[in-house]
Amino acid sequence: MNDLPDEFELIRRLAATQRGVHEDVVLGIGDDGAVLEPVRGAQLVAVCDTLVAGRHFPEDTDAFAIGWKALAVNLSDLAAMGATPQWALLALTLPERDAVWVERFGSGFATLAKMSGVALVGGDTTRGPLTITVTALGAVAPAAALRRDGAQVGDRVCVAGVFGEAALGLLAVQAQRRDDPAFAHCIARLDRPEPQLALGQALVGIASACIDVSDGLVADLGHVAAASGVGIRLDLDAVPHPPFDLGKALDLNARAVIDLALGGGDDYLLAFTMAADRLPELRERVAALGLELHAIGVVVPGAGVSVVTREGGDHVPARVGFNHFGNDDGE
């Protein structure tokens, strides 16, 4: 292990991973605070997420992936608001001073930051159980931010990604299959989620409501239903899920794989509602991003989220979603 001299050197090492010039950063890392130049005429969107070792990522996760994910989960929230990311602040709690780990972590954070146009402008470091808190800031045109409370009865519920892959990747890691090529894609979805920033921006002016799915599809759509004062009915057959063969390799039957898509969590994909007559327009926009639009349900009168089978019966997922202060079933 290579010790760092002090927390200030640690901050300098993290800052050194930030390459490139950001003209909107008047004063960055190194002072008591950052001075930033907001986009003229835009509104500021602020989000914050905390990751705890053993809770939000496996203990054996590579530091590069932890750095990437710490920023990614925040960018996914900005995507759900339709915002363009600009700046981030990082609070890092480390159990020990390890220069190699910090450099790997910083590299992962910086790689995604560069891809997303984000500048790290400040933060804090301290000693304790491995915990990472990131605050991210982005810009959106006035009154254009996507919200959770706009879903209308008759709207279609849509996604543009496969749900349950990260949850399957976690099961593979827990089964000591991290190095199994069959699970490489799912484990990458767990370790290095890719925020749907371009999709979120494409939804501005089209989506009536939007949410970042991190705690499970059913659970998070439940927040949209509650905020909008409506119910949501999902078509079980329409929800994109991992291949059943991958599930079989972990002794999961088809229902268990589908339930991972409905409630596994860690997807960091967008779910949104929109008027049915705008589906063709959005389908073209989504295709231009290299994604496929899936209409998976409809907004209905009532409350909560139901999942309906092809035969018209109700499907009750084994797990609805993740709740930090609930029981292990996410209830």
- CATH number of the domain that residue 264 is part of: 3.90.650.10
Percentage of the chain exceeding pLDDT 90:
75
The pLDDT, as a whole number, for residue 14 is 66
Q: Express each pLDDT in 159-176 by its tens digit.
A: 999 999 999 999 999 999
| Residue 66: domain span | 7-140
Q: Sorting pLDDT into bands at 50, 70 and 90, what band is 328?
A: very low
Q: Residue range 92-107: average pLDDT?
A: 88
**In sequence order, which residues have a C-beta less than 8 Å from that of residue 259 and are 6 or more positions away?**
317, 318, 319
172 in the same domain as 131: no
Residue 322 maps to a domain: no
Q: 84, exposed or middle or buried, with CB in 10 Å at 0-12, 13-18, 19+?
A: buried
Asked whether the beta carbons of 87 and 136 are under 8 A apart, the reply is: yes
pLDDT(327) > 50:
no
pLDDT(3) > 80:
no
Q: At what angle do helices 99-116 and 7-16 cross, to 10 degrees?
A: 40
Q: Express each pLDDT in 105-155 by its tens digit.
A: 999 999 999 999 999 998 888 899 999 999 999 999 999 999 999 999 999
265 in the same domain as 128: no
250 in the same domain as 182: yes
195 in the same domain as 270: yes
209 in the same domain as 119: no
- Of the listed ranges 28-32, 135-139, 271-275, 326-330, the one predicted with least confidence: 326-330
Total structural domains within the chain: 2
- Of the listed ranges 59-63, 199-203, 277-281, the one predicted with least confidence: 59-63
124 in the same domain as 229: no
Residue 319 maps to a domain: no
